[in-house]
Amino acid sequence: MDTAYHLVDPASEKPDVQTSTIQIQSLSIAPKRKSKRQLGSVIHILTHVVGFLWIAPIVTLLVLNFKNHVIGASIWCPRGKCNAQAYGDNAIATANKLDGEDHNILGALQFVAKGLEVWFMVVATSLVYDVALFLAKSNGGLPIGYLFTHLEFGDIRNLINPLLWTSPIPHGSLMPSKPSGTLKLYLFTMLAASLTILTNLMGPATAVLVLPTLQWVDTSHKPNQVFGSLAASGSPRGDTVFPGCNDTQLLTRNYSCTSEVYGPSMDNWLSQTLSSTAQAEQDYGAMLAGTSQEGTVEFTLNASRNGDLFWIPNRQVLRSLSSDLQDLASYVSGDLQANGTRSQKQPSYNNSLETVLQREGPSIGVAADCFNGTLTALTLATNKQVRCLSGWTPTSDTSGYEDSTYTKCFRYGTGWGGANQVAGFYLGDADKKADESYVQVYSSDKATAFNSTTDFGSQIQRCMEESAKDCDWDHIFETSIDPILANATTNPLVTEYGNPSYGSSTVWCDAIAYSAFPTYTLNTASSANPLSLVSLNQLPSATDKNFNTTPIAISPDWVLAAWSVANNGTVDRSREIGKELARVAPYVFEPFNETAPYPEQWEFSFIHMYTLAQSLSFISYDYSDDQASLSAAAKDKSQPVLTTWATLRVWAYGLSGRTPKLGVAVSILGCVCVLLRLILAVSLRIKHEHGVVELFVAALEHQPSQEFEDLHDEAKMAKVRYVIQDGHGRPKLVSERAYSGGLSGGLQTP
Ligand SMILES: *[C@@H]1O[C@H](CO)[C@@H](O)[C@H](O)[C@H]1NC(C)=O
Ligand SMILES: *[C@@H]1O[C@H](CO)[C@@H](O)[C@H](O)[C@H]1NC(C)=O
Ligand SMILES: *[C@@H]1O[C@H](CO)[C@@H](O)[C@H](O)[C@H]1NC(C)=O
Ligand SMILES: *[C@@H]1O[C@H](CO)[C@@H](O)[C@H](O)[C@H]1NC(C)=O
Ligand SMILES: *[C@@H]1O[C@H](CO)[C@@H](O)[C@H](O)[C@H]1NC(C)=O
Ligand SMILES: *[C@@H]1O[C@H](CO)[C@@H](O)[C@H](O)[C@H]1NC(C)=O
Ligand SMILES: *[C@@H]1O[C@H](CO)[C@@H](O)[C@H](O)[C@H]1NC(C)=O
Ligand SMILES: *[C@@H]1O[C@H](CO)[C@@H](O)[C@H](O)[C@H]1NC(C)=O
Ligand SMILES: *[C@@H]1O[C@H](CO)[C@@H](O)[C@H](O)[C@H]1NC(C)=O
Ligand SMILES: *[C@@H]1O[C@H](CO)[C@@H](O)[C@H](O)[C@H]1NC(C)=O
């Protein structure tokens, strides 16, 4: 600290320039002044207390904002109970009423913000005045340009007031005795200028901190399940996979038991989608994805194709989400106490304007497409087959290979060592299977591809053409091919649609499936989401940590379950799906005319796509949800931990965005000013203030001694410095020149 800043009591240390008559007068009225002075310092202390108290609401607001304090469905929620019931029958009327009340309270909070601003203004004015008077009492004196700074600094024009910036520069003959005086005065200039900026920013800053905003706030993510594995590669097992099916029935690979619940579900999903094709043909129409129901929610496949993949929600996850929704409903109606996704510390669903339930869960993303071509089946041994289908075009939009067609060969049979399975069924009449269209679904572990110019060195071309006996088929399937084609050669699920009258010409579809853990999101507000449609958020991309880039194997039995048919059974034409397949089948095998394709040809691709989606949505998974495995998995991270949470629409404080940060900075600087005033008062022993009127009277009483001679412009006058002397309770102005002259007068000849 600058030791030059010490309080000087001019009355005791400086030579007295007062006349003796005034001394006598002042003696006689001394006791009265003393009590006045005491009153003055009591008031002075009070201004400090009031100024200091400003910090309390500001710190409270800062804490609320830093902790992202959540209020609730309305701004006025005393003891956590808002006057809100966002779930009632009368949701819109309630929302309207809440909006009115919120508007009211926001208005009131504006007044609070203004109050805080005015309060700070008081502190800042006192600070400027305190410092100005301190300077005036110290040796260097105060330029008269600064006498009214404490009244002017709140006005932004103060910044461009030349007097503020030039007053400390001494004017020629008025050279002050000490150069440090000028430095001190410039510190004062800086203080006044920064307080001008600060006080002008204080209003919006406090408003930003005081006013809560309507936000989406996540409750804490609650670990819910430790993911085990997807039962994709095996046949459906267990009593709970499909309602209406028990394990004994599933063992026979007869999936007609699924028809009770999922037969109508499949038919409905498909006919809803196909009916949309008629809408799409209208000028104003478009093709919309059909929805399917599971429990209390609906879902659809996510066609926002992310890296060529369709993501299909998993019905087991949807069942969990359904029970989350039921929990929420019973919680809100008062039947169930805090359980489910709600954590005790969070605001209750009751206090939220809108609630979005979120749940992480497995989902299957599939790249699927259909092609026409011919089938060549090579039987190498009784249990070793190679099936080659021509007409394959890589699906990827980015491959640049859309124009080349390849032949895709996959291996099938138990002799290959890998897990290869097949399932099939017929369409129509069980007694005339030989004449009917059929569907064969192969799950193969490995495929390869070639075209007319290259087989990527696998020799498969030669082996196909010459039926060579010396072919090393294991080598053929191990040879790596073009990387862009390569990820469609692991674990393909190939569906062949055939009809005896079209011979080896077939329509075939392949599917490459990946698994990942997107977030299932359900907006529970019936006004925003009347169909309870679940959407998949954050679709996984190939770069995600939890995204396994190796395609997973899918058992063809899941496809049988989607058609509700036994292996080698028949799908009756009386069912919607049988009827639709029978309707489009004759066109599907006709040559594809690019300029005028039959509508049935693309309707067929919907039939395939939606039955595939139904199959993949069934795939169950196992998990553990006991506390021990949850905490163990959280520690060793060997298995994904699936969490649940809710996102609530509530009024809350927070610091997201730039303006709140500015508000925080400004209010922290405000607190610094308050503390600065206190520290200055204590360290400089500022006990009380002279009033402005007292100063004015002192100025009137002052007899100028040529200070203003030859001074004609304001800027120069403003530079003239005065020292305030405490003349027995009343301030007295002494020109700085006279003061320092008088000071040194004892030593030098005047
Ligand atoms: C499975 O369901 C079938 C048909 O409903 C029934 O006959 C059979 O007893 C059930 N098996 C078990 C183990 O419940
Ligand atoms: C939520 O509000 C409903 C209706 O006002 C009430 O019956 C229920 O008890 C509340 N639930 C809780 C947990 O406060
Ligand atoms: C809440 O959850 C705990 C543990 O998950 C369970 O034991 C309890 O029965 C649940 N309470 C209610 C009212 O459902
Ligand atoms: C065969 O495939 C290769 C590599 O993918 C490609 O460069 C070539 O153009 C294709 N040939 C034909 C005739 O499409
Ligand atoms: C398929 O392979 C290509 C090339 O290796 C790669 O860029 C792409 O991400 C893969 N697709 C998927 C879905 O993994
Ligand atoms: C599909 O995925 C996108 C991207 O994640 C998401 O925004 C959208 O809500 C999803 N739609 C459905 C119906 O799941
Ligand atoms: C499928 O059914 C046909 C005709 O009924 C029969 O010839 C064939 O052996 C059956 N195949 C299987 C794998 O059961
Ligand atoms: C499958 O089960 C249903 C009902 O139990 C039965 O009617 C049907 O004949 C079975 N199908 C086959 C192919 O076994
Ligand atoms: C398959 O489609 C191509 C065009 O995509 C067409 O040229 C060819 O004739 C079709 N073959 C059959 C058997 O339909
Ligand atoms: C495709 O359809 C158009 C319009 O019907 C017809 O003129 C053309 O001959 C057809 N092309 C083939 C290859 O059938």
Between these two residues, 328 and 1, which has the higher pLDDT value?
328
Q: Tell me the C-alpha distance between 295 and 269, whole Å.
A: 15
Give how far the C-alpha of residue 532 lies from the chain's centroid of Cα atoms, to the nearest Å: 22
| Residue with CA at minimum distance from ligand 4 atom 12 | 404
Q: Whose CA is nearest to atom 6 of ligand 3?
A: 339
The better pLDDT of the pair 136, 423 is held by 423
**Pseudo-torsion of CA 478, 481, 487, 491, nearest 10°?**
-30
Residue nearest to atom 1 of ligand 10 (CA): 593
In this prediction, residue 313 carries a pLDDT of 96
Nearest CA to ligand 2 atom 12: 334
CA neighbor of 652 nearest in space, from 58, 56, 59, 77: 77
CA distance 639 to 517: 12
Whose Cα sits closest to atom 2 in ligand 9? 592
Q: For residue 494, which of 552, 568, 559, 442 has the smallest C-alpha distance?
A: 442
Q: How far apart are CA 121 and CA 198, in angstroms?
A: 10
**Ligand 10 neighbourhood includes 593 CB (under 6 angstroms):** yes
Contact predicate 482/514, CB 8 Å: no
Bridge partners (DSSP) of residue 181 are none
- Choose the weakest-confidence range: 50-59, 89-98, 394-403, 591-600: 394-403
3-class DSSP assignment, residue 199 = helix
The atom of ligand 2 lying closest to the CA of 85 is 5
Ligand 7 centre to CA of 568 (Å) is 6
CB of 569 closer than 6 A to ligand 8? yes
Question: Of all protein residues, whose CA lies closest to atom 9 belonging to ligand 1?
Answer: 248
Give dist(CA 381, CA 603) in Å, integer.
38
Q: Is ligand 7 within 6 A of the CB of residue 254?
A: no
pLDDT, residue 703, reads 79
Q: What angle do CA 29, 30, 36 make, to 5 degrees?
A: 100
Nearest CA to ligand 3 atom 7: 339
Ligand 8 centroid to Cα of residue 426, in Å, is 14
Q: Is 591 in the pocket of ligand 9 (CB under 6 A)?
A: yes
The residues with which 514 forms a beta bridge, in sequence order, are: 365
Lowest mean pLDDT of 14-23, 243-252, 356-365, 458-467, name the range: 14-23
Q: Is 249 in the pocket of ligand 1 (CB under 6 A)?
A: yes
552 alpha-carbon distance from chain centroid: 32
What's at 346, amino acid-wise? Q
Tens digits of per-residue pLDDT, 721-747? 888 887 776 788 887 777 776 554 433
Q: List beta partners, residue 623.
A: 227
Identify the pLDDT of residue 122: 92
User: Ligand 5 in contact with 303 (CB < 6 A)?
Assistant: no
Task: Decide: 716 in ligand 7 pocket, CB within 6 A.
Answer: no
The amino acid at residue 471 is C
Strand 569-571 to 533-537 pairing: unpaired
State the DSSP string of 22-67. HHHHHHHTHHHHHHHHHHHHHHHHHHHHHHHHTHHHHHHHHHHHHT
Phi-psi region of 435 (alpha: psi -120 to 50; beta: other; left: phi over 0): alpha
- Which helix (H) or strand (E) covers residue 661, if one does? helix 658-683
Mutation test of ligand 8: which of 256, 260, 557, 565 has the most ligand atoms closer than 8 Å to its C-beta? 256
Ligand 9: distance of its center to the CA of 338 in Å? 61
pLDDT tens, residue by residue, 533-543: 999 987 877 77
Q: What is the pLDDT of residues 173-221, one digit of tens each?
A: 555 555 667 888 888 999 999 999 999 999 999 999 999 998 998 888 8
Specify the DSSP element, H or E, that contains 319.
helix 315-332
| Ligand 5 centroid from CA 395, angstroms | 11
pLDDT tens profile 78-128: 776 665 555 556 667 777 888 888 899 999 999 999 999 999 999 999 899
Q: Is 491 exposed, middle or buried (0-12, 13-18, 19+ CB in 10 A)?
A: buried
Can you tell me which residue has the tokens 């520069």?
169
Tell me whether residue 565 is exposed, middle or buried, using C-beta atoms within 10 angstroms of its C-beta: 0 to 12, 13 to 18, 19 or more.
Answer: buried
Of the bound ligands, which one is closest to the alpha carbon of residue 94? Answer: 2
Ligand 6: centre distance to CA 58 (Å)? 42
For residue 239, how far is its CA from the centre of ligand 3 (angstroms)?
25
- Asked if residues 640 and 628 have their Cβ atoms less than 8 Å apart, the reply is no
Cβ proximity of 218 and 540 under 8 Å: no
Ligand with smallest separation from the Cα of 401: 4
Compute the chain's Rg from CA coordinates: 43
- What spacing in Å lies between the alpha carbon of 326 and ligand 2's midpoint? 15
Three-state SS annotation for 348-380 = CHHHCCCEEEEEECCEEEEEEEEEEEEEEEEEE
Residue 16 CB-half CA count within 13 A:
11
Task: Give the pLDDT score at 254.
Answer: 92
Q: Are 61 and 667 in contact (CB under 8 A)?
A: yes
Single-letter amino acid code for the residue at 424: G
Structure token digits, residue 520:
């299932």
- Please tell me the number of the ligand nearest to residue 73's CA: 2
The whole-angstrom separation of Cα 224 and Cα 624 is 9
Q: In sequence order, what DSSP letters do the residues of 681-726 get, joined into one string? A: HHHTT------HHHHHHHHHH----STTTT--SHHHHHT-EEEEEE
Nearest CA to ligand 2 atom 10: 334
How would residue 16 be classed by pLDDT, with cut points 50, 70 and 90? very low
Which tokens go with 253?
């690979």
State residue 696's pLDDT score: 84
Q: Average per-residue pLDDT in the chain?
A: 83
Closest CA to 238 of 250, 247, 228: 247
Pairing of strands 421-427, 142-143: unpaired
Q: Whose CA is nearest to atom 3 of ligand 7?
A: 568
- Contact between residue 607 and residue 266 where contact means Cβ atoms under 8 Å apart: no
Q: What is the reported pLDDT for 195?
A: 94
In the prediction, which pLDDT does 13 show? 42
- Choose between 469 and 175: higher pLDDT: 469
Q: Which ligand is nearest to the CA of 398?
A: 5
Protein residue whose Cα sits closest to atom 11 of ligand 2: 334
**Residue pair 523/529 in contact by the 8 Å Cβ criterion:** yes
Beta bridge partners of 375: 389
Distance 596 CA to ligand 10 centre (A): 6
Q: Which atom of ligand 7 is the closest one to the Cα of 433?
A: 4
Residue 25 pLDDT > 60, yes or no? Answer: no
- Structure-block tokens of residue 521: 């999101």
Question: Within 13 Å and on the Cβ side, how many CA atoms surround 552?
Answer: 21
Q: Tell me how far apart the alpha carbons of residues 229 and 557 are, in angstroms, rounded to a whole number.
A: 18
Mutation to probe ligand 9, out of 405, 588, 592, 593 (largest number of atoms < 8 A from CB): 592
Q: Name the residue at shortest CA distance from atom 12 of ligand 3.
A: 339
* Across 160-174, 219-233, 678-692, least confident range: 160-174
What average pLDDT does this structure show over 386-397?
Answer: 82
Task: Give, using CA atoms, the residue closest to atom 10 of ligand 10.
Answer: 593
Check residue 97 and give its pLDDT: 81
Residue having the nearest C-alpha atom to atom 11 of ligand 9 = 591
The preferred substitution site among 324, 326, 339 for testing ligand 3, maximizing ligand atoms within 8 Å of CB, is 339
- Ligand 5 atom 9: the closest Cα is on which residue? 542
Concatenated DSSP letters of 456-507: TTS-HHHHHHH--TT--HHHHHHS---HHHHTTSBS-EEEEEE-GGGTTEEE
Residue 361 confidence (pLDDT): 94
570-619 pLDDT per residue, tens: 998 888 999 998 888 888 888 777 777 788 888 898 999 999 999 999 99
From 407, 453, 484, the mutation candidate for ligand 4 (largest count of ligand atoms within 8 A of CB) is 453
Q: With 60 as the cut, is the pLDDT of residue 305 above it?
A: no
Ligand number with the minimum distance to the CA of 481: 4
Best-predicted range by mean pLDDT among 276-290, 292-306, 657-671? Answer: 657-671
Rounded Cα–Cα distance for residues 741 and 14 (Å): 11
Cβ–ligand 7 contact at 433 (below 6 Å): yes
Distance CA 590, CA 508 (A): 14
Structure tokens at 622: 């196992």
Give the ligand with the smallest distance to the CA of 535: 6
Question: Which residue type occupies 102?
Answer: D
Which pLDDT value is given to residue 88?
56
Q: Is the pLDDT of residue 2 over 70?
A: no
Rounded mean pLDDT, 7-25: 43
pLDDT at residue 184, as a whole number:
84
Q: Is the CB of 31 under 6 A from ligand 2?
A: no
> Are 215 and 650 contacting, i.e. CB atoms less than 8 angstroms apart?
yes
- Determine if ligand 10 sits within 6 Å of the CB of residue 20: no
> Does residue 78 line the site of ligand 5, with CB under 6 A?
no
The first and second tokens of residue 300, run together, are 């659809």
The pair of structure tokens assigned to 47 is: 């201004």
How much of the chain is helix, strand and coil, in % rounded to 5? 45, 20, 35
Residue nearest to atom 13 of ligand 10 (CA): 593
**223: helix, strand or coil:** strand
Distances (CA, A) of 281 to 269, 285, 286, 287, 609: 19, 7, 7, 9, 20
Q: Take residue 291 and report the two structure tokens written for it.
A: 């929805």
* Mean local confidence (pLDDT), 635-664: 89
Q: How many residues appear in the chain?
A: 750
> 340 C-alpha vs ligand 3 centroid, how far in Å?
8
Q: Which two tokens stand for residue 280?
A: 């799409």
Reduced to 3 states (helix: H, G, I; strand: E, B; else coil), residue 678 is helix
Token pair of 304 as six digits: 């926002």
- Virtual torsion, Cα 360, 361, 367, 370, nearest 10 deg: -130
Question: The dihedral of CA 654, 656, 658, 661: what is its sign?
Answer: positive
Give residue 12's pLDDT band: very low, low, confident or very high (50, 70, 90).
Answer: very low
Confidence check: pLDDT of 304 > 70: no
Average pLDDT of 493-519? 90
Q: N- to C-terminal Cα distance for the chain? A: 34
> Over pLDDT 90: what percentage of the chain?
36
